Amino acid sequence: MSESPMQSPFSDAPTVLPAQTKRKSNGLLWGLIGSILLLIIGIGGYILYNHLNDPLRTLEVFPVTKYLEGYKSLQGSRFKGELTVENDLGFKDGAGRLMTFSTKECTHPIVVMIPQSLSGIYFVKGQHYLAELEVKDGGLIYANSCRKN
């Protein structure tokens, strides 16, 4: 008596399972979201880096009215000036260029000495500049640094 081997109840079922379909849209969506987040973080980091490395960010705005009332209390102090070019009063070799500027705070023009070290800057009437200003002996305002705004 020979016994026949038992047959599996699943012997008629296909042996290969159908491949599962992958959802590519989820991966694409997450990749897009990740790229946008990286872009936002990069732009934010760049803006923060530039803001923190700005040497003028800690300076007070130049007090034009206080200067016009009496410069002695401001002598030796450094300020940030948002200047608009009004006029060029002339250049003296070894000293620099004497110019008049107006500010946002006061329309009365102020006279600023642009040292020879900044002679590479070409000033045109109406242009806006951001400068580090210092009131020196005699009340003359010197621009220690200047960049186009």
Q: Write out pLDDT tens, residues 95-147.
A: 899 999 998 888 789 999 999 888 788 889 999 999 999 999 889 999 999 88
Q: Are 69 and 35 within one domain?
A: no
Give residue 17's Cα distance to chain centre.
59
pLDDT at 25: 66
pLDDT at 111: 92
Q: Are 38 and 104 within one domain?
A: no
Instruction: Name the residue range of residue 87's domain.
Output: 64-148
Q: Are 80 and 118 within one domain?
A: yes
DSSP assignment of 58-85, as one string? TSPBP-HHHHHH-GGGGTT-EEEEEEEE
- How many domains does the chain contain in total? 2
18 in a domain, yes or no?
Answer: no
Q: Are 49 and 68 within one domain?
A: no
Q: Are 72 and 141 within one domain?
A: yes
31 in a domain, yes or no?
Answer: yes
Q: Are 100 and 31 within one domain?
A: no
What is the CA angle 84-61-114, rounded to 5?
A: 50
pLDDT at 49 over 90: no
